[in-house]
Amino acid sequence: MVYCGIGDGYNPAMLSCLLHICLWMVLTSSLTVVSVPALAADELQIAVSKKGLGKEVVMTQGAREWFMLVEVTPENTVIVRQEKDRDQYVLDESETHDRPLAPGEVDAAINDYINSVKTRVPKQ
């Protein structure tokens, strides 16, 4: 690796030279293909995302899918739970609370749902 410096920084000509050398080294080096084993289809995949003031979680394992949405508005909270096996809904329910849930309550509801699915899903 080439390191060139003067005083408290690079001079423009040396910086340009350094960048060209680095680029040349990257482009001419032999590329190593790293094989990353694909995630097993039987592993439980969990994705949590923020939706406005609430959150949603989508969990998948093979052809099964679990979904929970906690939608919080200033007036109320709606919680939707769905479970699918292939294209067939096994569970599709919702509940409405007459007050907005606090962020800690939203997190607790999401975590409880994740844990309940984990206990029902056989480990591979």
Residues 32 and 1 in one domain: yes
| Element (DSSP H or E) covering residue 28 | helix 12-28
Kindly state whether residues 28 and 50 are assigned to the same domain: no
Chain centre distance of CA 91: 24
Kindly state whether residues 57 and 82 are assigned to the same domain: yes
Range of the domain at 2: 1-36
Residues 54, 102, single domain; the answer is yes
Give the total number of structural domains in the chain. Answer: 2
Same domain, 53 and 26: no
Q: Are residues 53 and 95 in the same domain?
A: yes
pLDDT value at residue 19: 46
Q: Tell me: do 89 and 51 sit in the same domain.
A: yes
The answer to whether the Cα torsion of 113, 118, 122, 124 is positive or negative is positive
Q: Are 95 and 78 in contact (CB under 8 A)?
A: yes
Q: What is the pLDDT of residues 63-122, one digit of tens each?
A: 999 999 999 999 999 999 999 999 999 999 999 999 999 999 999 999 999 999 999 987
